[in-house]
Structure 1
Amino acid sequence: MPEAIYFLIASVVFFVIFGYFVPVGLWITAQFSDVSISIWELVFMRIRKSPLTDIVNSMITCQKAGVKISLAELETYSLASGDVKELTKALITVKQSNLNITHDELKAAGLAGKNLMSFINERKSDLESGLGDTKRELCRKIFEDLSESQINELSIFVTKL
């Protein structure tokens, strides 16, 4: 009789630990939403203490909106203290607005502490006024003419401002 109780207790402990590390419900949600995430990816994300629900929901939202972004990109952004939900909204806005802003630009702006929607609106207004292309062209011409040491000096000067 005591062996049956030990077995029952061990089974309950196993299922509690299994249920914590293996988010089966989240995996099923992802599968029904046509987002290919393996159960092992979710387990390793749990071990890395990534916000599983935010990342999987963002993957589902991006998939439905036609935005291509990988699970690794979202998890890396999240682990770098980025707001995955805000990034998802920004990615969808960029896609719907047909703006020429890359995922990396958005992630860099978000990690720099900028509000991504404000960043997008600034870029949108720059493009509408024609300043965006002019600014890029001017920066490109300036950097073409500078040597490596001049670029380093310029970056040091700008950081001191």
Structure 2
Amino acid sequence: MEPITIVLFVVGAVIALFVFLYLFPVNLWFTAWLSGAPVSLINLVLMRLRKVPPALVVNAMITSTKAGLKITSNDIETHFLAGGHVNNVIKALISADKANIPLDFKLATAIDLAGRDVFDAVQLSVNPRVINTPPVAAVAKDGIQLVAKARVTVRANINQLVGGAGEETILARVGEGIVTTIGSAVNHKEVLENPDRISKVVLGKGLDSGTAFEILSIDIADIDIGENIGAKLQADQAEADLKVANARAEERRAMAVALEQEMRAKAQDARAKVIEAEAEIPKAMADAFKSGNMGIMDYYRMQNMKADTEMRESISKPKGDKK
């Protein structure tokens, strides 16, 4: 046999060995068997063909078996093919089992596939989290604004993680409860004297309904006095009323000016008519002379009477009155 043939034979044998060990992961099969979580070699080969990492499944099987969990390789493989995080689910199940939290494999995979971190949820059930609310401004009945900050202690509600609302809903509901409680107070002093009143009222509303959390406590961290909203609103209303009153007064003044101008026009018109009528007197007297209805003596008597009347009027006027 030629040397090149021997080399090719050896290379082919090595390649065949690697292909065999890849398709038939004997070491994983042996490790699973020694760990008490046996997986058949055929199943490991089928996992390769289905593009499922056999090492991931075997390690998950060994970990769950050592923790006393009963999970089959088919369950793990199915969850991996569905796009789940196998190691995260296994860790969550082990943590829940040690903490006596009821959590089965089906619910854990559902939570994982829903996009939530199931391991973090289990940790949150064991170690509650404190959520700080942003400053919430509300106005008491006396018009004084109060700005409150609260600390909400929550823990995960495992059964509500699928489809339950998140932290944003909790914060929104707590803020709404704070506004309602402060708004129902007769004056701001009541709230400052008893801040726990807010906690009791808000906590009694069942704000965690339909959420992925269970509210353990609501503590008011700080309350500050804001603006006097009532006085500001009254000042704004008074300013608005003043503008309305000024507008109405200006309207009445404009109407009065217009009426005065109208009366002046009427007076001018009346004077014009009087002057026009006086202009007709000489014509009437001329017609009377022509028609013989009035003689020269009548005219003199009329002039005398007119002069006498003017004299009497001048005598009756007080001194200094030149009109």
With structure 2 as the length reference, what TM-score do the two structures score? Answer: 0.37
- Structure 2 counterpart of 1:104: 106
Q: Aligned ranges for residues 39-118 of structure 1 at < 5 Å? A: 39-118=41-120
For the residues of structure 2 that align with 1:33 and 1:102, how far apart are their CA atoms? Answer: 23
Instruction: Please give the secondary structure, in 1, of the residue aligned with 2:157.
Output: helix
Return the letter of the residue paired with 1:10.
Answer: G
Deviations 1:7-26 (Å, cap 9, x if unpaired)? 43432232121021111211
Return the letter of the residue paired with 1:14.
Answer: A
> 4+ residue runs of structure 1 moved beyond 6 angstroms?
none
For the residues of structure 2 that align with 1:38 and 1:58, how far apart are their CA atoms? Answer: 15
- State which of 8, 11, 14 in structure 1 corresponds to 2:10: 8
For the residues of structure 1 that align with 2:102 and 2:63, how far apart are their CA atoms? Answer: 21
Q: Any gaps of 5 or more consecutive residues in structure 2? A: 126-155, 161-205, 211-323
Q: Note if contact 2:32-2:39 (Cα within 8 Å) is conserved in structure 1.
A: yes
More helix by share: 1
- State which of 123, 132, 146 in structure 1 corresponds to 2:157: 123
Return the letter of the residue paired with 1:123.
Answer: N
User: What's the offset of the Cα at 1:84?
Assistant: 0.8
Which of structures 1 and 2 has the larger relative contact order (alpha carbons within 8 angstroms, sep 6+)?
1
User: What's the offset of the Cα at 1:6?
Assistant: 5.0
Q: Note if contact 2:32-2:38 (Cα within 8 Å) is conserved in structure 1.
A: yes
Q: Aligned ranges for residues 146-161 of structure 1 at < 5 Å? A: none
For the residues of structure 2 that align with 1:35 and 1:102, how far apart are their CA atoms? Answer: 19
Q: Note if contact 1:82-1:111 (Cα within 8 Å) is conserved in structure 2.
A: yes
Q: Note if contact 2:29-2:38 (Cα within 8 Å) is conserved in structure 1.
A: no
For the residues of structure 2 that align with 1:73 and 1:45, how far apart are their CA atoms? Answer: 13
More strand by share: 2
For the residues of structure 2 that align with 1:6 and 1:76, how far apart are their CA atoms? Answer: 41
Deviations 1:58-95 (Å, cap 9, x if unpaired)? 11010000011110000111111111110110111121
Q: Tell me the matched-pair count.
A: 129
Deviations 1:9-45 (Å, cap 9, x if unpaired)? 4322321210211112111111110111011111111
For the residues of structure 1 that align with 2:100 and 2:85, how far apart are their CA atoms? Answer: 22
Check 1:109–1:13 CA distance in 2 against 1; reply closer, same or farther (3 A cut): same
Q: Note if contact 1:109-1:119 (Cα within 8 Å) is conserved in structure 2.
A: no
For the residues of structure 2 that align with 1:62 and 1:71, how far apart are their CA atoms? Answer: 11
Q: Note if contact 1:33-1:60 (Cα within 8 Å) is conserved in structure 2.
A: yes
Check 1:118–1:11 CA distance in 2 against 1; reply closer, same or farther (3 A cut): closer
- Name the larger-Rg structure: 2
Q: Note if contact 2:28-2:55 (Cα within 8 Å) is conserved in structure 1.
A: yes
Q: Any gaps of 5 or more consecutive residues in structure 1? A: 136-161
Instruction: Please give the secondary structure, in 1, of the residue aligned with 2:75.
Output: helix
- Structure 1 counterpart of 2:32: 30
With structure 1 as the length reference, what TM-score do the two structures score? Answer: 0.70
